Amino acid sequence: MFGFEVRDRDLLARIGKLTTMSGAVETPAFLPVINPLKQAVTARELLNDFGCRMVITNSYIIKKQLGEAAKKKGIHSILDFPSVIMTDSGAYQILAYGRVGVTPDEIVQYQEKLGSDIATILDIPTGWKVTREQAQHTVEETIRRAKQLEGLKTREDVMWVGPVQGGRFLDLVAFSAQAMRKLPFEVHALGSPTPVMEQYLFDLLVSMVLTAKMNLPASRLFHLFGAGHPFMFALVVALGCDLFDSAAYALFAQENRYMTEHGTVRLERLKYLPCSCRVCSKKDPQDLMEMPDEERERELTRHNLDVCFSEMRRIKQAIAEGRLWEHLEMMTHGHPSLLQALKHLGKYADYIEENSPVSKRSGLFFYSSVDLVRPEVTRYRKRLLERYTLREGVKVLLLLPGLGHRHLRRTGSQNKALRAVCEKLKVERSEVNVCVYAPPFGVIPDELSDVYPLGQYEYAYPPDQETIEYMAVRIVEHIETMKYKSTMMVAESGTWQGKLANLCSCICREKGVTFESLI
Ordered domains of the chain (ranges, CATH): 3-351 (3.20.20.105), 363-518 (3.40.50.10630)
What is the rounded radius of gyration, in angstroms, for the C-alpha atoms of the chain? Answer: 27
Q: For residues 225 and 193, is the Cβ–Cβ distance under 8 A? A: yes
407-424 mean pLDDT = 74
User: Which of 62-71, 202-211, 329-338 shows the lowest per-residue confidence on average (mean pLDDT)?
Assistant: 62-71
232-260 mean pLDDT = 96
The Cα–Cα gap between 176 and 171 comes to: 9
Residue 226 confidence (pLDDT) above 60: yes
Mean pLDDT estimate for the chain:
92
For residue 408, what pLDDT is reported?
47
DSSP 156: S
For residue 417, what pLDDT is reported?
82
Residue 91 confidence (pLDDT) above 60: yes
For residue 184, what pLDDT is reported?
93
Task: Determine what percent of the chain is predicted with pLDDT higher than 90.
Answer: 80
Q: Per-residue confidence at 133, pLDDT binned at 50, 70, 90?
A: very high
Task: Determine what percent of the chain is predicted with pLDDT higher than 70.
Answer: 97
Q: For residues 415 and 342, is the Cβ–Cβ distance under 8 A? A: no
| Tens-place pLDDT, residues 361-403 | 889 999 999 999 999 999 999 999 999 999 999 999 999 998 6
Residue 407 confidence (pLDDT) above 60: no
457-486 mean pLDDT = 95
The Cα–Cα gap between 14 and 61 comes to: 32
Residue 433 confidence (pLDDT) above 50: yes
For residue 411, what pLDDT is reported?
61
168-181 mean pLDDT = 97
Q: What is the DSSP string of 287-323?
A: HHHTS-HHHHHHHHHHHHHHHHHHHHHHHHHHHHHT-
Residue 412 confidence (pLDDT) above 80: no
494-503 mean pLDDT = 94
50-64 mean pLDDT = 94
The Cα–Cα gap between 310 and 302 comes to: 12
CB-based burial label for 290 (10 Å; 0-12, 13-18, 19+): exposed
Q: How many helices (H) and strands (E) does the chain have?
A: 21, 20
Q: For residues 272 and 287, is the Cβ–Cβ distance under 8 A? A: no
User: Which of 45-54, 124-133, 154-163 shows the lowest per-residue confidence on average (mean pLDDT)?
Assistant: 124-133
For residue 137, what pLDDT is reported?
95
Q: What angle do CA 62, 64, 66 make, to 5 degrees?
A: 55
The residues annotated as belonging to the active site are 88
User: Which of 97-111, 177-191, 195-209 shows the lowest per-residue confidence on average (mean pLDDT)?
Assistant: 97-111
442-452 mean pLDDT = 89
Q: Per-residue confidence at 222, pLDDT binned at 50, 70, 90?
A: very high
437-460 mean pLDDT = 91
Residue 6 confidence (pLDDT) above 60: yes
For residue 410, what pLDDT is reported?
55
List C-alpha distances in Å: 313 to 224, 228, 395.
19, 17, 53
